[in-house]
Chains A and B, each alone.
Chain A
Amino acid sequence: MPPIDLILNVAVGGILTGLVYGLMALGLSVIFGVIRVVNFAHGEMMTVAMFLAFSAFTAFGIDPLLSLIPIAALLFAFGYAMQAGLINDFVNKPEHTQFILLVAVAIILVNVLLMIFGPDARGVQTDYSFDSFEVGKLIIDATKAYAALAAVLVAVVLFAFFRFTLIGQAIRACADNYTGALVVGLDVKRLYALTFGIGAACVGAAGAVLVLITDVTPALGPSYTLQAFIIVIIGGLGSMPGALLGGVLIGLTEALAGLFFTPSAKSMFAVAALVLVLLLRPQGIMGKRQR
């Protein structure tokens, strides 16, 4: 049994990282909740954002906490274009057809990154990389704290957008009742494109700040995709607070599993948590029952 201080420190680190994962999963949740298309290129978009933040930092010295705004905007444009140009035609196609479409996109993204950046792990060293805050006996990494704070801020902006703006409400209307949205004259295709853009922007922001915490390689894409799925299903597909909660739970689970067992087995615990949730509460912790 490791000392209690260590456990607490690891737990806090896991929760903070989990908030960033939560923002990534929020993007997936928004996309699935509204468009009902599973974005199998989600983790790959995450690595694209991470490499963009890395490039901005190494080329121009821009801190990822700042570059997250232009990167989110870029990913928004990418997501909007992808939904408008490609996925809108596939919205009513069977799941496996959508799957292949997005797997093709994922393959292209991973390998374009591989061609540009090579297979090596890249990371960012800021001047506060080794700073930490001491709160009582807790030692909190500054990078993790800033990254988590940024993730929460972006999430709050998103909550507000969906709650209070007309477009946000229109998007929610599409999600609630597709036919109804068409009947009242909403431009569903454009709203879908906006939604995919917003989901992609979440991933963009999450990727930009995650580069502060961990290194990136092109090959990481699929495992981020899987992680986003796990988080979203645990939290409840379509539930925005659920995605953040799921992220925190997975971050915590992985951090503690790495401490108590071995770091290489940590993803096994995330998967086990997913299986448990699917069996005991398939709609997720905060999801609404749909059947």
Chain B
Amino acid sequence: MTGLFSELSKRGIVLLVLLLALMLAAPFLANDYLLTVLILILYFAFTGQAWNVMMGFAGQLSLGHALYVGLASYVAAALFVRFGVGPWIGMLVAVPVAVIAGAIIGFLAFRFRVGGVYFAILTIAFAEFTRVGFDHFSYVGGSGGLFLPVSQYTSNDLVNLRGNPTMFYYVILAMTLGAWLLCRWLLRSRLGYFWQAIREDEDAARALGIDTFRCKMIAVMISAGLTAPAGVFTAFYYNNLFPEQVFNMGRSIEIILGPIIGGVGTLFGPILGAFLLTGLSESMHELLSWLGLDVPGAKAVFYGICLLFVVVALPDGVWPWVARKLKVTERKVTERKP
């Protein structure tokens, strides 16, 4: 316990406990609307954390994480609809499927030394390929979509993930917390230091005897596998899946905006980024409808302008700046050097 939180100051630990208590109490304090916003925030915090393993820790820019979310969604949903297999067992299939997809992309890219921008485009390409493929995959509904039977919200069935938003909220909260703890552990593991060495200078890392191919493969596979539970979650939360939406390039971009705005390579960055961006997006909506300016597109224009300002003002992300202001970190091991 002490080892895991050693880099946090006392003040940081107090703030962390307060935040956790607030999150645990949220369903009793928030109304239904706010609760759904919180679920969305936690979803982005979770996926952002998973993406961060690949980019923030190991320095491999993936722009196609919707692929892993989507594959996991479809696997779990198809198992449930076709064979009545519950989501938790479905997850045991969905996670390996995502890991294999990640392994294929990683193998092809790293074996053939596709790196940097090319790697990023390759990840987009695989997501797009899968999107069009699923559009024509009639077993899971094709472009017409795949639907889960919607049940009454009278009782919560945790085993089959059927229930009210409060149950979903606690599920995603537990998932986010788990991902955060896992990433803390990974970042401080031997592998985590190898990743950071590769991120900073791959040639130097290889010269030091690090098996960069193996380390990068593990990063992609962990990142993909860690993303998969979010896919299972969304499938059972939204109850409908369309390839056009699930594998959309926009979804991949949404996933990575949070951690980049929050601070790539930091552990709180993805969480802070998710709060900031989803909060911004929702409050824009409220503000514009209050001002009577609710034309289609207006919200997104303001969102884009805010994004522009943040990235110009704090190109390394918001969290490193907030952490300095709050004086919550003592050692700066996790911060990415500019």
List chain A positions with a Cβ less than 8 A from chain B.
32, 38, 86, 89-90, 93-97, 99-101, 103-108, 110-115, 118-119, 218, 222, 226, 229-230, 233, 262, 264-265, 267-268, 271-272, 274-275, 278-279, 282, 291
Within 8 A of A (CB), among B268-294: none
Determine if B311 and A111 form an interchain contact, defined as CB atoms under 8 angstroms apart: no
Q: Does B114 contact A (CB under 8 A)?
A: yes
Determine if B124 and A103 form an interchain contact, defined as CB atoms under 8 angstroms apart: no
Complex alpha-carbon distance, A38 and B121, angstroms: 11
A-B contact list, 6 entries, CB within 8 Å: A38-B117, A96-B61, A96-B256, A107-B303, A107-B304, A271-B129
Q: Does B308 contact A (CB under 8 A)?
A: yes
Determine if A104 and B260 form an interchain contact, defined as CB atoms under 8 angstroms apart: no
Shortest Cβ gap from B63 to chain A (Å): 8
Shortest Cβ gap from B65 to chain A (Å): 13
| Chain A interface mostly | helix
Complex alpha-carbon distance, A112 and B300, angstroms: 9
Complex alpha-carbon distance, A15 and B116, angstroms: 31
Determine if B312 and A86 form an interchain contact, defined as CB atoms under 8 angstroms apart: yes
Q: Does B238 contact A (CB under 8 A)?
A: no
- Contact with B311, one of A97, A118, A222, A267 (Cβ below 8 angstroms): A97
Q: Does B327 contact A (CB under 8 A)?
A: no
Complex alpha-carbon distance, A278 and B249, angstroms: 20
Known: A103-B257, A114-B296, A278-B114. A271 touches B304 (CB 8 A): no
Determine if A96 and B55 form an interchain contact, defined as CB atoms under 8 angstroms apart: yes
Determine if B296 and A118 form an interchain contact, defined as CB atoms under 8 angstroms apart: yes
Known: A107-B304, A268-B133, A279-B112. A230 touches B125 (CB 8 A): yes
What is the interface size of chain B, counting residues whose CB is below 8 A from a CB of the partner?
48
Known: A93-B315, A107-B304. A100 touches B260 (CB 8 A): yes
Determine if B295 and A279 form an interchain contact, defined as CB atoms under 8 angstroms apart: no
Q: Does B267 contact A (CB under 8 A)?
A: no
| Residues of B close to A101: CB separation below 8 A | 308, 311-312
Question: 1/0 per residue B44-67: CB within 8 Å of A?
Answer: 000000000001000001010000
| Residues of A close to B250: CB separation below 8 A | 222
- Contact with A100, one of B135, B261, B297, B303 (Cβ below 8 angstroms): B261
Q: Does B188 contact A (CB under 8 A)?
A: no
Q: Does B122 contact A (CB under 8 A)?
A: yes
Q: Which 4 A-B pairs have the closest CB atoms?
A: A114-B297, A107-B304, A111-B297, A108-B304
| Residues of B close to A89: CB separation below 8 A | 312
- Contact with A278, one of B122, B135, B304, B312 (Cβ below 8 angstroms): B122
| Residues of B close to A97: CB separation below 8 A | 260, 311, 315-316
Q: Does B126 contact A (CB under 8 A)?
A: yes
Determine if A265 and B117 form an interchain contact, defined as CB atoms under 8 angstroms apart: no
Q: Does B204 contact A (CB under 8 A)?
A: no
Determine if A105 and B308 form an interchain contact, defined as CB atoms under 8 angstroms apart: yes
Known: A115-B296, A222-B250, A226-B128. A262 touches B136 (CB 8 A): yes
| Residues of A close to B191: CB separation below 8 A | none
| Residues of A close to B41: CB separation below 8 A | none
- Contact with A115, one of B55, B114, B301, B311 (Cβ below 8 angstroms): B301
| Residues of A close to B126: CB separation below 8 A | 271, 275
| Residues of A close to B193: CB separation below 8 A | none
- Look across to chain A and name the residue whose beta carbon is closest to the beta carbon of B128: A271
- Look across to chain A and name the residue whose beta carbon is closest to the beta carbon of B105: A275
Complex alpha-carbon distance, A105 and B307, angstroms: 9
| Residues of A close to B230: CB separation below 8 A | none
Known: A112-B301, A115-B301, A267-B132. A229 touches B108 (CB 8 A): no
Q: Does B19 contact A (CB under 8 A)?
A: no
Kindly name the residue among A103, A226, A267 whose own CB sees the greatest number of chain B CB atoms within 10 A: A103
